[in-house]
């Protein structure tokens, strides 16, 4: 089955700086890679996703890149704000969703 690894597990940045979270996957058949943001005690919310036929996607301060050859994809958050503080999960989908272990992001004001 698929194996999704996510790094780092915790990340602290100063407000205004950029944050990068990286994930790798093992199954070359995976073709859809969403990223979720989960605030404490709340449901995961889809923030951005990318499909295997695209290398990069951007939505305002958030961007995702995908390297199919290396089987890794990354989340980039620019100009971070305190409200970006949350746990972020990557996922890979082939025939079902497999989640990374999560990254706890803290943005220091």
Partner 1 sequence: GAVVSQHPSRVICKSGTSVKIECRSLDFQATTMFWYRQFPKQSLMLMATSNEGSKATYEQGVEKDKFLINHASLTLSTLTVTSAHPEDSSFYICSARSGQGHGELFFGEGSRLTVL
Residues forming contacts to partner 1 in the complex (CB under 8 A) are: 32, 34, 36, 41-46, 49, 51, 87, 89, 91, 93, 96-97, 99-102, 104
Compute the least distance from the CB of residue 28 to partner 1, in Å: 20
- How near is the Cβ of 34 to partner 1 at its closest, in Å? 7
Nearest distance, CB of residue 101 and partner 1, angstroms = 5
18 versus 54: smaller Cβ distance to partner 1: 54
101 and 6 in contact (C-beta within 8 Å)? Answer: yes
Residue whose structure tokens are 């961007």: 63
> What separation in angstroms does the CA of 100 have from each of 39, 70, 73, 82?
16, 17, 12, 23
Closest to partner 1 by CB, 28 vs 97, is: 97
Other beta carbons within 10 angstroms of residue 17's beta carbon come to 13
Cα–chain center distance at 34: 7
């Amino acid at each position: 089955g698929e194996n999704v690894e996510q790094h780092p597990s915790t990340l602290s940045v100063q407000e205004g700086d950029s944050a990068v979270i990286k994930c790798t996957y093992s199954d070359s058949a995976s073709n859809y890679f969403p990223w979720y943001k989960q605030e404490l005690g709340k449901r995961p919310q889809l923030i951005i996703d990318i499909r295997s036929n695209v290398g990069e996607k951007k939505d305002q301060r958030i961007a995702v890149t995908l390297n199919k050859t290396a089987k890794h994809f990354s989340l980039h958050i620019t100009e971070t704000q305190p409200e970006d503080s949350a746990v972020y999960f990557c996922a890979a989908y082939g025939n079902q969703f497999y989640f990374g272990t999560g990254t706890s992001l803290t943005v220091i004001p």
